[in-house]
Structure 1
Amino acid sequence: MRHTRLFSQSTYSLPQDNNRLTLREPTRHLDPLQERLHRKQRLAASYRLFAALGFEVGIAGHFTARDPVETDHYWINPLGVPFSQICVSHLLRVDGAGQVVEGDGVLNTSALELHYDLQKARPDVVGIAHVHGFHGRVWSSLGKLFQPITAESAAFVDDQVIFERHALRATDGRLERNRERVSEAFVKTFAQHHLLFWQNHGLWTVGQSVETAAWRCILADDTARAHLLAYSAGTPVIPDLDAGSDAAGKEFFAWLNFLPLWDRICREQPDLLD
């Protein structure tokens, strides 16, 4: 059954006055059950978008949304269901103990500690995305941060960090295998940033909504592509930047950029709402 109650072509219904946008912050649903459905719909749409952009490699990658009713729970895709086929009804709700409490499917256990611990450490975070997009993976191998060589990449200045997973060593000097210790180091490194490069692995992004986490993920992979092309062609000019917008402004801008993508994927693939 399609969930049409909250489905809307949101880009076209934004409040405006004399053709000028009057909204200054993302919309929220006061009813937690409506907000739950909203998040699940955007999560399913994001998976479809990620598939269209080539972010799926086998069973790698996961994207979670904090549940607004049980706030220590999150929604995630079942392992092995192609991103291109994800529907709202496929999503699994996972509790703080790592148990599926709603939905049917195989749980991706590689995501458990990382997503849950990051949610717990950052109450502001709703969406947490990790993908293995080609350009993001390649850029992550260089161990470098983005530079403001384009207007888009400037969005990540002072908001990005590198997680050197292979530098984590146990007391015997071998690679750290304890998942709890790895997760602790991951969360500590992420801190309050919105973009993390897991070196030699891929990208992680977070947001105060599913929409902002998804948009940052899309923009980060696009920025990685721009960096790889620019640096292969020569030495890009790195301009001096004025002070950027505040955190709330960046969050709103990321949310706003997701809306046309939501409109498009829902028109092209309305079955994602099933």
Structure 2
Amino acid sequence: MDPNVAKLIGPTPEGVTFPLPPTFDSFEEERQHRKEQLAAAFRLFGRLGFSEGVAGHITVRDPEFPDCYWVNPFGMAFSLIKASDLLLVDHEGTLLVGRRLVNKAAFVIHSAVHAARPDVVAAAHAHSLHGKAFASLGIPLDPITQDACAFYQDHGLYLDYRGVADEVEEGKRIGVALGAHKAAILANHGLLTVGQTVAEAAWWFVTMERSCQAQLLAMAAGTPRLIDHETAERTHAQLGGSLAGWFQAQPLFDQVFAASPDLVD
């Protein structure tokens, strides 16, 4: 376990273990798990109001064919998506599995991110209210809260907005702005987050959206007090790792699976 995460756990009784992301014995099992997690992430985004018409997409690599990824059908409500509705596309945008349209913007952005970052398994982008409002400022998140420290020196800023992302070069520029970080603010557009699991990528999006909201509120009220560099770095180490992101998503995913058992169909 990440030693920074271990510091956050109190005394552990004998026989009690810290939950970890599951492992699988076959590509088929892992593929189904990733698809179910992806469907759950869409249901979660729908519950939290992150949908905006047909905008927004979350993707996950196929475990057997890592140059291909699963994505939501274009124009389908987040709150209705099931695992069986998901589409499989390659990095050229070719539809390999499924019978619905592919969102070109999803292909342009996510194919570039997945190609540039072999370590990224999942990526999330949506036009959430506070994320796009904050993105209009063209500034990074400040370390003004404990939660925001998860992104301290760990998010990119893309300032070259040129309209709807419908060109491959636009996706490549976004990939460059993301760099080695877990997230990026796309100026005049919205937020983008990535992770080694669907749950991690989804959590970073949820907490980044809320951190944008918190900073907007604080800036409207006055001048926010910044957390000092050393403390922000230490807090990032505790809260900003891949395992911490996956674990923090579990309560939300538990609620979604309990409320929407049909999503695994």
Taking the aligned partners of 2:261 and 2:51, their CA distance within structure 1 comes to 20
Partner-residue secondary structure (3-state), 2:60: strand
Partner-residue secondary structure (3-state), 1:212: helix
Q: Deviations over 1:100-144 (max 9, x none)?
A: 111221111122132112111111101110000000000000011
Partner-residue secondary structure (3-state), 1:104: coil
Partner residue, 1:114? 109
Amino acid at match of 2:250: L
TM-score, normalised by the number of residues in structure 1 = 0.86
Distance 1:134 1:177, change over 3 A: closer
Distance 1:246 1:153, change over 3 A: closer
Taking the aligned partners of 1:156 and 1:259, their CA distance within structure 2 comes to 19
Check conservation: 2:109, 2:165, Cα contact below 8 A.
Answer: no
Q: Which range moved further: 175-184 or 187-196?
A: 175-184
User: What's the CA shift for 1:239?
Assistant: 1.8
Matched, 1:273 2:261: no
Partner residue, 1:8? none
Partner residue, 1:251? 242
Partner-residue secondary structure (3-state), 2:75: coil
Matched, 1:209 2:197: yes
Distance 1:265 1:97, change over 3 A: same
Pick from 12, 18, 34 the counterpart of residue 13 of structure 2: 18
Amino acid at match of 2:188: N
Taking the aligned partners of 1:59 and 1:176, their CA distance within structure 2 comes to 12
Partner residue, 1:158? 153
Tell me how many residue pairs correspond in the alignment. Answer: 252
Q: Which range moved further: 28-37 or 79-88?
A: 28-37
Taking the aligned partners of 2:178 and 2:17, their CA distance within structure 1 comes to 33
**What does 1:184-199 align with in structure 2 at a 5 Å threshold?**
184-199=172-187
Amino acid at match of 1:28: T
Check conservation: 1:43, 1:64, Cα contact below 8 A.
Answer: yes
Q: Which range moved further: 244-253 or 58-67?
A: 244-253
Distance 1:162 1:111, change over 3 A: same
Partner residue, 2:3? none
Distance 1:177 1:230, change over 3 A: closer
User: What's the CA shift for 1:273?
Assistant: 1.2
Check conservation: 1:24, 1:252, Cα contact below 8 A.
Answer: no
Taking the aligned partners of 1:213 and 1:104, their CA distance within structure 2 comes to 26
Taking the aligned partners of 2:23 and 2:197, their CA distance within structure 1 comes to 9
Partner residue, 2:226? 238
TM-score, normalised by the number of residues in structure 2 = 0.88
Q: Structure 2 stretches of 5 or more lacking a match?
A: 1-10
Partner residue, 1:5? none
Partner residue, 1:262? 253
Partner residue, 2:80? 85
Q: Deviations over 1:2-53 (max 9, x none)?
A: xxxxxxxxxxxxxx95178633753332422111111111100010110111
Taking the aligned partners of 2:128 and 2:166, their CA distance within structure 1 comes to 26
Partner-residue secondary structure (3-state), 2:50: coil
Partner residue, 1:179? 167
Partner-residue secondary structure (3-state), 2:241: helix
Matched, 1:71 2:66: yes
Taking the aligned partners of 1:41 and 1:18, their CA distance within structure 2 comes to 32
Q: Structure 1 stretches of 5 or more lacking a match?
A: 1-15, 169-174
Partner-residue secondary structure (3-state), 1:165: coil
Partner-residue secondary structure (3-state), 1:94: strand
Taking the aligned partners of 2:146 and 2:191, their CA distance within structure 1 comes to 20
Partner residue, 1:52? 47
